[in-house]
Structure 1
């Protein structure tokens, strides 16, 4: 059973929520999730993060789209808790604000819930909201599954 979903709050505000249970410690999942050097070998979306990987750090986030083109986005890490959380809330495209988080929750010493969520706001959401959120849902679900496979394979 999955709780992956898109919620439409208004014409200009939507969110996507994805989660997966990984059979590994939270420390192991965090280590793999933040191993940006190896990430391009297993992730087809998030390729790497460069810069100051700390609270309020300025970063460049490299994402690959479904056509194989890598876009680089500058983000400030507004959300950061070592070992459990990182994310940003910055303008994305056409004035849409992207509020993206990667979060880990300890279930037990050998199980971790990995949550990837996003919220978009902005006028262009009226026209592009469905397309963006469908793409995010598919991309985040795939990322979560490949992260799970990667961690459990190396566990």
Structure 2
């Protein structure tokens, strides 16, 4: 079961929300989600995170765009709870500030909900917001399904 949507909050603010239920314990999902060494072998978007992977840690996040080009973005992990959550909120393009989170919720001993969300704020959102959010929605939905398939094959 999945629930994916884009919300327009105002002229300069939009958000995307994606979720998927993975048939695996939360520990297994966290381990795969943070296995940045193997991530480039299966993820078409998030390639890896390098740096200080902890609360307020300075990191370099490697993302691949839809043309196969990898961009490296410096982010401080303002959202971090070991085994459950990580994310950042920084300017990323044309002054648009994003607030990206990967969050896990334990449903049962054998099921975990992966929530991937993002928020875009800034003047350029007026012109680029729909394009960016649609790209994020497609990318996050694909990432979520791919990691689900990968984890469930291992279990």
TM-score bracket, shorter-length normalisation? over 0.9
- 1:123 counterpart residue number: 123
Paired residues of 2:2 and 2:21 also in contact (CA < 8 A): no
- 2:42 counterpart residue number: 42
SS in 1 for 2:77: strand
Query: What are the residue-to-residue correspondences of 1:35-114 with 2, within 5 Å?
Result: 35-114=35-114
- 1:28 counterpart residue number: 28
Alpha-carbon distance in structure 2 between the residues aligned to 1:99 and 1:134: 16
Alpha-carbon distance in structure 1 between the residues aligned to 2:2 and 2:112: 15
Corresponding residue pairs, total: 155
Alpha-carbon distance in structure 2 between the residues aligned to 1:83 and 1:31: 8
Unaligned runs of 5+ in 1: none
SS in 2 for 1:146: helix
Unaligned runs of 5+ in 2: none
Alpha-carbon distance in structure 1 between the residues aligned to 2:73 and 2:59: 8
By how many angstroms is 1:45 displaced? 0.3
- 2:7 counterpart residue number: 7
By how many angstroms is 1:2 displaced? 2.8
By how many angstroms is 1:3 displaced? 1.5
SS in 1 for 2:31: helix
Deviations 1:8-54 (CA, angstroms, capped at 9, x unpaired): 00110000000000000000000000000000011000000000000
SS in 1 for 2:94: coil
Any runs of at least 4 consecutive aligned residues in structure 1 with deviations exceeding 2 A, and if so which?
Answer: none
TM-score by length of 1: 0.99
By how many angstroms is 1:111 displaced? 0.2
SS in 2 for 1:92: strand
Query: What are the residue-to-residue correspondences of 1:136-155 with 2, within 5 Å?
Result: 136-155=136-155
